[in-house]
């Protein structure tokens, strides 16, 4: 199960994110998304859990939980094709 984790502290690391989710089960991968231009966290990431039941429990327990002063937004990640594209206008 692929899980979206939003509203992360900018100091959160991949390993800290993984540690947060391992209390609910086996984590295959955890990844904080980094801005290519600044090298800084974008404040969200993804966690892959091998067991759906464990993933659902992690979502239930962590959604809204305050970590490092920020209330997490945690839900099942949607495949990229399902999300509407944002039109940010022309790039020059």
**Rounded mean pLDDT of 40-55?**
96
- How many domains are there within the chain? 1
In a domain, 84, yes or no: no
pTM equals: 0.84
Residues 6+ apart with CB under 8 A from 45: 5, 8, 12, 14, 17, 30, 31, 32, 33
In a domain, 89, yes or no: no
| pLDDT at 23 > cutoff 60 | yes
In a domain, 72, yes or no: yes
| pLDDT at 89 > cutoff 70 | no
**CATH number for position 74:** 3.30.70.330
Q: Domain residues for 22? A: 2-78
In a domain, 91, yes or no: no
């Amino acid at each position: 199960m692929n899980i979206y984790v939003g509203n992360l502290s900018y100091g959160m690391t991949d390993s800290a994110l993984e540690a947060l989710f391992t209390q609910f089960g086996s984590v295959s991968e955890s990844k904080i998304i980094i801005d290519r231009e600044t090298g800084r966290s974008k404040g969200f990431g993804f966690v892959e859990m091998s067991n759906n039941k464990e993933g659902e429990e992690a979502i239930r327990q962590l959604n809204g939980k305050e970590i490092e002063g920020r209330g997490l937004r945690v839900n099942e990640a949607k495949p990229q094709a399902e999300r509407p594209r944002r039109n940010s206008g022309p790039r020059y």
